[in-house]
Amino acid sequence: MAKSDMTKILVTGACGQIGSELTLALRRRYGNENVIAVGHRTKPSEALCTTGPFEYIDVTRRETIEEVVRKYKIDTIYHLAAILSAVGEKKPQLAWEVNMNGLYNVLEVAREYEMVRVFCPSSIAAFGPETPRDNTPQETVLRPTTMYGVTKVAGELLCNYYFIRFGLDVRGVRYPGIISSETLPGGGTTDYAVEIFYEAIKHKRYTCFVREDTVLPMMYMPDCIKAAIDLMEADLSRLKHHADFNLSAMSFSAGELAAEIRKHIPEFVCEYKPDFRQAIADSWPRSIDDSAARQEWGWEPEYDLAAMTADMLEKLGRRYAEGRL
């Protein structure tokens, strides 16, 4: 599959943690004017606005998606707009509305306008307490106990349905917790793995909202972006799975992350005060078997805990020194 068959790309959720960096990466790869960033209410960053088109839409209102699709003759959508797990537990109705109806609207528009391809991320949240927690297989129990997880499982099934029933080329991965230095995550359970870096640099202290021994699968943003782009450019004939690829990069406990940060900032102190997010974390896998992604489209992550931590501290440290954190 050549990259040139995706000529006009729409990114929903472009102001979010993944969207803000993925949009810029896609613009570098496919041309600034060919990647249209759309957000809901969040004010876009300067980088997002100055490098290419930006529009506002509401994914729960289909006509707002269609308007942008027609205006820019969109043929590819990266659909990242979603409510994450922790906010989803506070506002389950909103999570259903945005994650399910938003996805349904995107898929329907993509079907009607005969789009080339759609990317929609799933998550480790698709798994649940009955899923094997170590080296979680590709094919396994999907019985999540969060609304976010319910929408992710239903979303995977819906995406696969659109492929089988309508031939719409929808692809997606089950992302682990994503760690990034540009945009903060908005209301997920794995947010501690990002917040800890900001607090370590600013205050040398962090109060973590999960226990020290909580192990979750994680991934650094460059790998997250690489996964999306590589999967979208993969040869369709090689894919046996479509919207539900397991994906893995690293796994560590909150305590191991704090210890890794202490190698760079020896005075850093981390305390642990678990809140409602502990139960969510406890229902998710500790590590993931991603051999299907490796076999079918050559997935291979670059960053481990040490490399990610060094890079995060370097990037955030520089911003802090410049008074921009």
The residues of the shown chain that bind ligand SER, judged by CB under 6 A, are 84-85, 123, 125, 148, 175, 177, 188-190
Cβ–Cβ under 8 Å, residues 92 and 155: no
Nearer to ligand SER, 162 or 175 (CB): 175
Strands 117-119 and 76-79: parallel
Least distance CB 99 / ligand SER (angstroms): 11
| Strand locations in the chain (E) | 9-12, 35-39, 54-56, 76-79, 117-119, 122-123, 170-171, 173-175, 177-179, 205-208, 215-220, 245-246, 250-253, 269-272
Minimal CA–CA distance to 232: which of 73, 81, 121?
Answer: 121
Least distance CB 193 / ligand SER (angstroms): 9
CA angle 110, 112, 118 (to 5 degrees): 15
Least distance CB 305 / ligand SER (angstroms): 17
- Element at 201 (helix H, strand E): helix 192-202
Type of residue at 213: D
DSSP state of 57: -
- Give the active site residue among 30, 72, 78, 148: 148
Least distance CB 308 / ligand SER (angstroms): 15
- Which residues are CB-neighbours of 279 under 8 A, at least 6 positions away? none
Instruction: Give the full edge-to-edge strand order of the sheet including 177-179.
Output: 177-179, 215-220, 250-253
d(CA 221, CA 168) in angstroms, rounded, equals: 27
Identify whether 148 is a catalytic site residue.
yes
Cα 36 to chain center, whole Å?
Answer: 18
Least distance CB 175 / ligand SER (angstroms): 6
d(CA 244, CA 123) in angstroms, rounded, equals: 9
Least distance CB 7 / ligand SER (angstroms): 30
Nearer to ligand SER, 125 or 159 (CB): 125
Output phi, psi for 246, to 5 deg. -60, 145
Least distance CB 127 / ligand SER (angstroms): 11
Distance (Å) of CA 245 to CA 46, 124, 160, 171, 172: 33, 10, 12, 9, 6
Q: Helices in 54-181 by DSSP H: which ranges?
A: 62-72, 85-90, 92-96, 102-112, 147-166
Nearer to ligand SER, 72 or 119 (CB): 119
Query: Could you give the residue numbers annotated as active site?
Result: 148
